[in-house]
Structure formats: C-alpha cells, structure tokens
Amino acid sequence: MHQRQQTTSLLYSLLNWLLIAVVTVVPGLTLADSFHTRLHQKADNAFYTADIIAEMQFGKKVAARILGQETLHENTQLTRYINLIGKTLVLHSKRNELEFHFAVLNNPQANAYATPGGYIFITKGAIEAANNEAELAAILAHEIAHVTERHIVNQLNITGTEQAHIAGLVRFLGASGNTAQVTLTQSVDQAVSLLFETGYKIDDELEADFVAMILLAETGYDPLALKQYLLRLPEQADPMAKQPQTHPTNAQRFTQLNTLIETEKLQTLNFPQLRERFLKNTTLKR
Amino acid sequence: MKNDQFFMASFPAFFIVPFIILFLGTMLLSQAAMADNTLYVQSAKAKLLASPSFASKLLHNMERGVALHVVETSERWVKVKHNDQLGWVSKLLLSPSPPTKKNSILFKPKNDVTQKARRRASSTATAAATRGFRSERHSRANDLENGDYDALEKVESITIEEAEAWKFHQEGIKQ
C-alpha cells in the first residue's frame, strides 16, 4: 500500500513537470516564431515596393489635378531655390526612397499642399509671408511631414497590395475596367477634396508640426521658425481654420509647439535662419 | 498517509511553479528579443549625439542604412551603439527594417497608365455620376479633374543632385 502511494505521488510529480513543460515551452516557441515572422515581413522590401509604386502613381495624379486648378509660377531661380531647401530637408527625413518635387504656385493666398509620393506645392503668397529661409523651410518641412507620415495614404488606404478595403491600387492602375477606373478617380477626388476643402485630421496636422520641428532641427535650421511663421500668419488666412470642428486652431498648435520647444530645449539651439540668402533668392520680396 | 500529506502540502506548488517558470521564461524571451533589437538609419545622414538633445555634442554623422543596436529608448530619442560608441539618435529617423533603395523601376513603373487614365477619366466619371456613384462634392471636384500633365512635366524636370543639395546645406548651415 505504502509503495502504491509512492508510485502515485511520483506519477503526479511527472505529470506536473510535463504540464510545466507544455505551459512554458509551447507559448515560448509560438512567441519566438511570430517574432521572427514579423521581422521577416518587415525586411521584405518587395512588399513595400508595391505600396510605394502605388503611392507615387496616385500622388502623380493628385499633383496633376492640383496643377489643373492652380497655375505654376515659372521663375527658375525661385523654383530652384525652393527645390534646394526641400531636397536638403528630405535628405534628413526618413523617406529617401521617394523623389520629391517642389513647385511654386501663382496664388497670392498663403498656402501649401503635399501629395502622396512627394509633390510639394507652395504658393507665392506663402513665400511672401515668410521672413527668412528657416521659415520657408518650416512650411516645406510641414508638408514633407504629411508625406513621410503617409497621412493621405493611410486615410484613403492607398496600397499596392490586396489589403485595402478597396482592391489594391496597382490593380486599378493596371486595370482597364470602368469600375476600377471610377474607384481610382474617386480616390483621387477624395485626396483633392481633402487638400482643398476638408483638410487633414487634427492629429495629422499636429503630427506634421511635430515632425517638421524635429526635421528643421535635424537639418540645422532654427526650429522655432515654424512658430514664428504661424504667429505672423493671420489665422483667417489659414484655410484649415474654416473647419474648427475637425482641424486644430492656432492655439492648439502653439500649445503643442511650446511643449516641444520646452522639453527639447529648442530655444537654446541658436541655429541659423538665413535671411540674407532668402532675400537674394526670393525676388518676390523686393 | 504521510505521503498524502506531502502531496496535499505540495499541491499549490503544482500551480504556482509553472507560473514562476512561465514568468522567468517570458523574461528570458523578451531579453532575447531585446538582443535582436536593431534599428536602421533611414535618412541620408543622421546625427549621433552625446545626449538626447539637439544642443548636445555631435559624435558622428551616420550614413543611411547603418544598423544600430538599441540600448535604451525614450519618447523621442533612442540610445544606440554604433561602432562601440554610445549615443542618441532622433527616433523619427530610425526603422526596424533596412531603408528601401531608390530604384529606377520605382520611377518608371511599367504599369503607369496615367496618360491612359487621363483620356478615359472624363467619360468614365460622367457615366459613374449618372449612375449615382459620385457625391455632389466629388462631382464638383470632377469639373476640375483633368489634371495638367504638361505643368507636371515641368515640375518633374527640375531635379537637384544630392551633392548639390549637400553643398547648399554646407554653405548655409555650416555645421
């Protein structure tokens, strides 16, 4: 009897250790496996290439649409200067795989637009409202941030794969069917409407400000230039202010900018604003 | 009886011990994951700074694609090890995957049907509007929908070489 109890106890002990092994090793293996799977997926550039191609092709159509509504300001020196500032900022941003293009629009109202894929438009009015190169860089940095953070791409679910709620954009672009073309046209319509009428989401605007400040500091421009420019620009001149329900007011933007300036001690940087080079290259100021 | 008492006394351990081991196992696994925690520089250049502040000393300018071992992360900064040198990099410039290379295929996609779509868009969209696919707001945008591809070509024709941009950067910012 005594021996039987010992055997039972030993059996329980063995079962216990078997349970421990199952409880610890199996989840461990599963975790490790999923971890490596995620890494593998992230390293798969081919997966991303389809998305980037879709974004670029989509952005090109949106850019053409903007140019259908606005006229180009064809001043070679100014356009080249804007491109030099823009390219310098892009070199310090995280999306070097895109070929960014910068253009000046012949519009006296202060405004700027960015399309997916890296087409950035700035109006003559926005340049005239700037005081130095750092402020001009701040406007461009804000627009570049909308592209690097893929705000329109995420909002409209533009992708080259089949994961979109609508079918992959590459399929639209390659497709000849009317339905596909209508869907593509509708997506471009939505992007144009977002840029000209409804505006970005409040969080996207605030994120673009945040990324722009960091981008200015990383490039070496005075990051406070963004706040200076916004302070000078009357809020009513900002088309986003027309939708106070869904878009940040200047007060909200300043609150965030001030927090960032304080926490990162950006006021101590003493980075250049480059007024002279700005005046030399922007004949608009004369 | 004695064995029964031993079994009963050690019974809670049957439940507690697996959880302790599971906890330790999870700790080890997360440490293993940390050991593999590599981030890649996405920007053409990224500053390796002595402390998490743009005002701090510049230790090194790191090139795009450089793999960095993560030591510590904060809200906006990552402490990394680069060539046995510890320093801080802005979180915005790093990603867990290597940067996507600039590829000529990206810029001349074979299935670019932009021009084809441009010719078709008007009739297609009009047909869709008739069928009620498009909202009034979209119809309004559609009035202006024929993009200006000639102007777009002008925009795309202006390209700045990387070396030129660095020269411009050096002349102005001189860092």
Query: Would the pTM count as exceeding 0.80?
Result: no
* Chain B (36-75) residues lying within 8 Å, Cβ to Cβ, of chain A: 36, 42-47, 53-55, 64
Q: Which chain B residues are closer than 8 Å to A145 by Cβ?
A: none
What is the pLDDT confidence band of residue B29, given thresholds at 50, 70 and 90? low
Please report the pLDDT score of residue B114 as a whole number: 44
Average model confidence (pLDDT) across chain A: 80
Task: Give me the helix-helix angle, B114-130 and B136-143, nearest 10°.
Answer: 140
The pLDDT of residue A37 is above 60? no
**Using CA of residue B19, residue B22, residue B24, residue B30, what is the dihedral sign?**
negative
d(CA B21, CA B24): 5
Higher pLDDT, B103 or A205: A205
Q: Which chain B residues are closer than 8 Å to A269 by Cβ?
A: 54-55
- Asked if B18 and A272 come within 8 Å (Cβ–Cβ), the reply is no
Q: Which chain A residues are closer than 8 Å to B148 by Cβ?
A: 64, 67-68
The pLDDT of residue A22 is above 70? no
Residue A217 DSSP symbol: H
Q: What is the arithmetic mean of pLDDT over A51-67?
A: 91
d(CA B16, CA B48): 46
Q: Kindly report the CA angle at A15 between A12 and A20, in degrees rounded to 5? A: 125
Please report the pLDDT score of residue B129 as a whole number: 38
Contact of A39 with chain B, judged by CB distance below 8 Å, is answered with: yes
Q: A84 by DSSP, 3-state: which?
A: helix
Higher pLDDT, A49 or A89: A89
Please report the pLDDT score of residue A266 as a whole number: 92
**Tens-digit pLDDT profile for residues B47-99:** 999 999 998 999 999 999 999 999 999 989 999 999 989 999 999 999 998 98
Q: What is the arithmetic mean of pLDDT over B128-151?
A: 54
* Chain A (220-259) residues lying within 8 Å, Cβ to Cβ, of chain B: 220-221, 223
The pLDDT of residue B167 is above 60? yes
Q: Is the reported ipTM for this assembly greater than 0.90?
A: no
Please report the pLDDT score of residue A186 as a whole number: 85
* Chain B (75-114) residues lying within 8 Å, Cβ to Cβ, of chain A: 76, 90, 92-103, 105-107, 109, 111-114
Partners of B44 in the β-ladder:
none
Higher pLDDT, B120 or A107: A107
Give A43 to chain B, closest Cα distance, Å: 5
Rg of chain B over all Cα atoms, to the nearest angstrom: 29
Which stretches of chain A are DSSP H helices? 2-43, 45-69, 76-91, 124-128, 133-148, 151-156, 169-174, 178-193, 202-219, 225-232, 250-263, 275-281
Give B84 to chain A, closest Cα distance, Å: 23
Please report the pLDDT score of residue A156 as a whole number: 86
- For strands A119-123 and A101-105, give the pairing: parallel
- Asked if B21 and A24 come within 8 Å (Cβ–Cβ), the reply is yes
Q: Which chain A residues are closer than 8 Å to B56 by Cβ?
A: none
